[in-house]
Structure formats: C-alpha cells, structure tokens
C-alpha cells in the first residue's frame, strides 16, 4: 500500500502520510475500547463511559510547542494557555501543565480548576467578557494576566491598580472585525460580536491607543478571532490587524510598551476523519508569512488553544441498549445523546460526529456499511448522536463510539432528563500493548442528582402558602 493511500482501519479513514499520529491514535483507541469492555468498565450497569487518551494529549501539546518554537526567534517568551472551557477537568489541566501548557480561564470556576491543577498564576490568563469587581481583584492579587474586554472594565482595573505595584500583565481585548466563519455562534470577529473593543467602530481604534498612552501598565494586546468554522487565513488576518495596532501604539508611545501579543486560540478541528488538520505547524507558518514582524523577537506571545489540543483524544462509548427500525431505517438506541453531545444534537449540520461500531466484546465491528441512526436516551425526537451515518449495523449489546469528543462534549454535561454525568477515564498503552485506565472523573451518582435538584428543600414551595 502506498503511504498516501487510505489505510483502512475500522473507523474508516486513517489517511497515512499527512498526519503521522493518526494511525497510532486510532490503534490506541481500539485497544482502549476492547480493554474497557474486558475489564468490565462498560457493561449493563455502566452503559456509558468517556475515555481520554493521555498519550494523544501529550502529543498535541508537543506539536503545539514545536510549531511555535520553529517560527519564533530564539529566546522569545511564549505561553501556551489552554482554554480551560474546552475541557474543564482538573487532571487534564495537570497533564497539560506537565507538558508546559498554562491556562486561559473565563470564570471563577475555571480559575479554581486551574488553581486546583497547580497551574501557576504566571501561566494563567483571565479573559471573560463579564468579570465582576471581585474576580478582577482576585486576579490582580494573584498576579494573573487579565485582558480587559471593554472601557467599563478598564475603569474598574484603573481603580484596582491605583497606587499599587501591578504584578499582573494587563491588556485589552480587541475585535479586529475581520468577519465570521461557517458557525455564527462561534464567530468572535464579526462586526457586532460581543467580545472586546470593536476596532473598526468609529473612534474605537483611537480610544484604544489613547488608553495605552494613558496607562503605562498596559503591556499586552489580545484578540481571539474565532473558533471552529473560521478559515485560517481569516484568523491570520485578525492577528495581523492586532499586530499593526500594537506597532502603532508603540510608535505613538515612543517605546516598546506593548511587549506581548495574545493571539487567542481557535484552530479548527477536522471531525470528518482521523487526521488532525490543519496542524499547529501549518498555522504557525501561515502566521509567520502573514505577520513576520510578530516573530522577530520584539514581542512575546500568548496562545489560547482549546479544541485543537483535546478534541481528537476523547471518545464517548455507549452500549446499544436496543436495536430497532423505523420507516425502514435502522436505529440503535444508546445511552449517549444530548447530555454528552449537546452541540451535535441541537446543531447536527455544524457538529457532525464520526461514530465507530464495536461488537459486544469491544472489537471493531465488521460488516457492510448500513445507513442508520444512532440515538440517545433523552425524551425528545431530535436526540440523535448521528443521523443516516454509514457503518456496520449496530445490534443490541454492541458498542457505539462517538469519536473526537475530547473537547466541548462529555466534559460539558447537559442535565436533560436528569441524566448523570458519565465517568471519564484516562488511558495509556504500555510497551506490550496493555491498557491502563485511571479515573479522571467518577460517574455521577443518582443521589447527587437528587441533592443538586433541591432535595434539601423539598417543602420549599408547599410552605410558601
């Protein structure tokens, strides 16, 4: 077989040659599914579990570091801050920390997770659009970097830094308004996006420049041009506009006031096949071509990738409880639906997932491809993990795996039908091929759902009168 031919693993479409990591990742995943079934981690009592490939996460972190090392001048300070919202799990943040990756947080909860994982304040960036005064105060006390979203927030920061030694690197988030992508809800650089200071609005650019000239402690500039669905060239244009603004600020200030550019995250993920593309290396090279000045050593860099670091390394596995047929279409009824794949269920065109079929022993299922639906357990008709997907016919007792769900899926539980959060297990493969699992997050017990649902206040409403 030629290297660039499709090598057919059972999940369909590992293209060798372009992503050297793809085949290994798919093989580890198959081994993990089989081991999970053999070790009884998935059975009639536990029909749904989420898996995280620790090796894969390390590989992506290494690829990210290497991509920027290859384009930056020697000695350039680069902080890769993982966007915690993509996988808000303490062990994930800890693993990334070990790989030299910091944390981008956008809420008190995310900051608490980053701190629980031991991510240092100096490697943490706070970015949310609705920071309270208390959150700002905490961040400044800790020395965490803060990007102000708007003039009112900057006024609050003014009051907090007055008369103190500022330890936190501080900046302003701008929206270069370069345009949106294919997914409206994730397009952060449209003309009317809610994020940052809209640079092309009348007077806005001048306001930003004056804000820096008035505040010598503003040393960073931040933009995050969008997530999944944005073209790389558009992302690069957003970075270029931000760089031009930093250059103008520094010219007007007569010194290198802005010393660090935070270019956000947003590298899209390929959900259509096993391959990781575009790669960090491709994006870093495009950035260097588009904005060479950003890489000549005058600026430090912060990145905030989320989805691209984790997506490929997560898998949701669920038992097929029933296999039925409706209107001539086979439907596999499983335990994975809207509670673990909310975006896919509500916006299937924007968020299609690949499903892999395994038999009752956890082995890749063979057989002719059959067009079928894979349904979840929730009580509404649209609760479908996949519609009309071609895969070997799923039968009762088989397992269906939703691939590429490591970011913004099972870690983003949606409590519909009081469905519990599934266990998240990390896995790694030893030299002899054996799989070791570790609990990342235990399954949610039903008692916890009852408690969270007001059990301690049972008579709250009846007593009101």
- Where along the sequence are the contacts to ligand PLP (CB under 6 A)? 83, 85-86, 104, 127, 224, 227-228, 264-267, 304-308
Least distance to ligand PLP, CB of residue 435, Å? 28
Query: Peptide bond before 404: cis, by omega within 30 degrees of 0?
Result: no
Least distance to ligand PLP, CB of residue 231, Å? 14
Task: Enter the DSSP assignment of 385.
Answer: E
Picking from 313, 400, 407, the residue whose alpha carbon sits closest to that of residue 354 is 400
H or E element that contains 52: strand 48-53
Residue found by looking up tokens 């001539």 in the block: 328
Least distance to ligand PLP, CB of residue 262, Å? 8
> Up-side HSE of residue 113: CA atoms within 13 Å toward CB?
25
Contact 263, 305 (CB under 8 A): no
Least distance to ligand PLP, CB of residue 412, Å? 12
Least distance to ligand PLP, CB of residue 183, Å? 10
Least distance to ligand PLP, CB of residue 265, Å? 3
Q: Which is nearer to ligand PLP, 307 or 421 (CB)?
A: 307
Picking from 164, 126, 166, the residue whose alpha carbon sits closest to that of residue 146 is 126
Q: Which is nearer to ligand PLP, 234 or 384 (CB)?
A: 234
Q: Which is nearer to ligand PLP, 22 or 189 (CB)?
A: 189
How far is 136 from 143, CA to CA, in rounded Å? Answer: 10
Least distance to ligand PLP, CB of residue 264, Å? 5
Q: Which is nearer to ligand PLP, 305 or 410 (CB)?
A: 305
Q: Which is nearer to ligand PLP, 266 or 300 (CB)?
A: 266
Nearest residue to ligand PLP, scored by beta-carbon proximity: 306
The token pair that represents 61 in the structure block: 């972190």
The overall longest dimension of the chain from CA atoms, in Å, is 77
Q: Which is nearer to ligand PLP, 230 or 374 (CB)?
A: 230
Q: Which is nearer to ligand PLP, 80 or 115 (CB)?
A: 80
How far is 308 from 278, CA to CA, in rounded Å? Answer: 9
What is the separation of C-alpha 261 from the centre of its chain, rounded to a whole number of angstroms? Answer: 21
The token pair that represents 339 in the structure block: 């509670």
Residues across the chain: 465
């Amino acid at each position: 077989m030629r290297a660039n031919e499709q090598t057919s693993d059972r999940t369909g479409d590992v293209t060798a040659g372009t992503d050297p990591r793809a085949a290994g990742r798919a093989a580890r995943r198959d081994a993990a599914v089989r081991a999970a079934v053999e070790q009884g981690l998935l059975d009639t009592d536990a029909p749904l579990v989420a898996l995280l490939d620790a090796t894969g996460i390390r590989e992506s972190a290494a690829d990210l570091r290497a991509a920027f090392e290859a384009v930056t001048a020697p000695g350039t300070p680069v902080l890769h801050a993982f966007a915690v919202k993509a996988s808000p799990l303490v062990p994930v943040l800890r693993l990334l920390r070990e790989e030299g990756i910091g944390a981008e947080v956008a809420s008190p909860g995310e900051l608490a997770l980053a701190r629980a994982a031991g991510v240092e304040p100096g490697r943490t960036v706070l970015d949310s659009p609705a920071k309270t005064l208390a959150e700002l105060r905490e961040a400044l006390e800790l020395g965490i970097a803060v990007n102000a979203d708007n003039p009112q927030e900057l006024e609050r920061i003014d009051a907090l830094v007055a008369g103190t030694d500022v330890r936190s690197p501080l900046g302003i988030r701008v929206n270069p308004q370069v345009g949106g992508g294919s997914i409206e809800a994730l397009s952060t650089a449209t003309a009317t996006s809610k994020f940052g200071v809209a640079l092309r609005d009348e007077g806005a650019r001048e306001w930003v420049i004056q804000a820096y000239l008035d505040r010598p402690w503003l040393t960073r500039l931040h933009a995050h041009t969008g997530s999944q669905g944005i073209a790389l060239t558009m992302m690069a244009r957003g970075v270029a506009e931000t760089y031009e603004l930093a250059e103008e600020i520094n010219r007007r200030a007569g010194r290198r006031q802005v010393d660090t550019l935070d270019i956000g995250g947003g590298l899209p993920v390929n959900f259509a096949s096993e391959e990781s593309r575009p790669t960090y290396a491709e994006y870093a090279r495009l950035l260097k071509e588009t904005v060479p000045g950003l890489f000549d050593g005058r600026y430090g860099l912060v990145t905030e990738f989320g989805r691209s670091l984790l997506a490929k390394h997560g898998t949701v596995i669920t038992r097929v409880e029933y296999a039925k047929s409706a209107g001539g279409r086979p439907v596999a009824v499983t335990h994975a639906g809207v509670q673990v794949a909310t975006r896919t269920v509500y916006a299937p065109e924007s968020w299609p997932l690949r499903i892999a079929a395994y038999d009752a022993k956890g082995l890749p299922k063979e057989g002719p491809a059959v067009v079928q639906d894979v349904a979840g357990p929730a009580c509404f008709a649209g609760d479908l993990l996949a519609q009309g997907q071609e895969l070997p016919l799923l039968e009762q007792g088989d397992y269906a795996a939703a691939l590429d769900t490591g970011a913004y899926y099972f870690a983003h539980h949606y409590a519909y039908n009081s469905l519990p959060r599934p266990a998240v297990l990390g896995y790694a493969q030893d030299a002899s091929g054996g799989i070791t699992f570790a609990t990342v997050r235990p399954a949610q017990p039903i008692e916890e759902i009852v408690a969270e649902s007001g059990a301690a206040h049972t008579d709250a409403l009846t007593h009101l009168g």
